[in-house]
């Protein structure tokens, strides 16, 4: 493989810097690249985050930019003099709990304003963190096994989250080649990671908490045959770094610019529920043998709950704990290959499955006493 283009001396902006993936990307940039400055952009950046990066910051300046992604002036200030933007910030909502105007404002309008700030402030590269959920699964639950970027898949997205991420991704890719104020051109690409796991994953903590409440037996919400391929957070961060290097390289820039890439790794293909069990069985957790309820019953309950919530919506907004799209997502075989990212971006998983599993289970083990205590206190 050719040597990767270096980001030495670059000024990088990381939106959502205080989040699960953002933190991991910050550390990787500091460990791998001698950047001049990294700007941590978020609504709030905890002082502990900066302290945790002291051991690897070297000569890189770390600057905190706290503000709203929907504030155009704030974004222009954040991008002034920068050369690369990693746009990770988003509202993630798989239960349709957030008002559409709020999620659209952050996920779509925020992305559009950030792209405009990049054009006005001469930022050369823009990497957008998309999601596998812009692809589906569709309401019919049509399976995909080892899909790639060329495949056609009929999809009418139901989640506001999926729809807004899709729209923001499209705007990002359409902005590729836009003329900057200085006459240069903006290069963009989008990364579509699978379900991201690893140290700090709040969804894993939630499943562990449910298991504790159920006498250390994890709930089964996915059929074993509904195989997906989750991706480790360290490998997703690595994919972002490789994308930035590719967009800086004149040859790779023309190949990768304006395109999206699936980011997966060598995590075994299993259902979501079985994946939780793989990570938590060393901690003494068992898992239900069969689905909590037959699929037809789950869909019926979701339909009735949705009807009820619609009826009371004028008076009060009620968010059901389960919806049809979530049941479909949990029970559809849906896996994708990273070969195109390997070819165009030079991406390869940095962490093996064994190491990713060891690190994640180790973190869950460290959180287990606190989670048990919290549940006992209730």
Residues with catalytic roles: 165
* Alpha carbon separation from 317 to 97, 98, 309, 312, 374 (Å, rounded): 9, 10, 7, 7, 28
**Both structure tokens of 197:** 């796991």
Q: With residue 196 as reference, give the H or E element that holds it.
A: strand 196-197
Cα gap 54→51, rounded to integer Å:
5
Cα gap 125→252, rounded to integer Å:
13
Q: With residue 39 as reference, give the H or E element that holds it.
A: strand 37-42
SS3 126: strand
Cα gap 147→138, rounded to integer Å:
14
- Residue 377's region, left for phi above 0, alpha for psi from -120 to 50, else beta, is alpha
Q: How many CB atoms lie within 10 A of CB 156?
A: 9
**Both structure tokens of 150:** 């060329």
């Amino acid at each position: 493989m050719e040597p990767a283009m270096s980001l030495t001396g670059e000024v990088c902006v990381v939106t959502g810097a205080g989040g699960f993936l953002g933190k991991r990307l910050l550390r990787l940039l500091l460990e791998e690249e001698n950047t001049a400055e990294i700007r941590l952009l978020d609504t709030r950046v905890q002082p502990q985050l900066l302290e945790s990066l002291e051991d690897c910051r070297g000569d890189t300046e770390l600057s905190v930019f706290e503000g709203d992604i929907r504030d155009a002036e704030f974004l222009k200030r954040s991008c002034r003099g920068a050369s690369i933007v990693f746009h990770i910030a988003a509202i993630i909502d798989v239960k349709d709990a957030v008002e559409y105007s709020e999620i659209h404002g952050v996920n779509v309008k925020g992305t559009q304003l950030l792209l405009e700030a990049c054009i006005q402030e001469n930022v050369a590269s823009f990497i957008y963190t998309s999601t596998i959920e812009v692809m589906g699964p569709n309401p019919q639950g049509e399976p995909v096994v080892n899909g790639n970027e060329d495949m056609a898949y009929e999809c009418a997205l139901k989640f506001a989250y999926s729809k807004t991420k899709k729209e923001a991704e499209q705007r990002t890719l359409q902005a590729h080649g836009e003329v900057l104020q200085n006459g240069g051109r903006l290069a963009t690409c989008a990364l579509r990671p699978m379900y991201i796991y690893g140290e700090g994953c709040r969804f894993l903590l939630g499943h562990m908490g449910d298991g504790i409440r159920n006498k250390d037996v994890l709930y089964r919400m996915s059929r074993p045959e509904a195989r997906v391929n989750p991706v480790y957070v360290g490998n997703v961060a690595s994919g972002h770094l490789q994308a930035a290097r590719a967009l800086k390289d004149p040859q790779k820039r023309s190949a990768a610019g304006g395109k999206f890439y699936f980011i997966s790794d060598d995590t075994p293909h299993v259902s979501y529920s079985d994946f939780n069990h793989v990570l938590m069985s060393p901690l003494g957790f068992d898992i239900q043998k069969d689905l909590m309820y037959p699929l037809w019953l789950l869909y019926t309950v979701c339909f009735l709950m949705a009807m009820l919530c619609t009826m009371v919506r004028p008076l009060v907004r009620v968010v059901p704990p389960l919806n049809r799209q979530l049941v479909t997502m949990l029970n559809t075989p849906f896996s994708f290959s990273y070969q195109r990212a390997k070819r165009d971006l030079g991406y390869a998983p940095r962490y093996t499955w064994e190491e990713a599993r060891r690190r994640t289970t180790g973190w869950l083990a460290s959180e287990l006493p606190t989670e048990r205590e919290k549940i006992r206190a209730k």
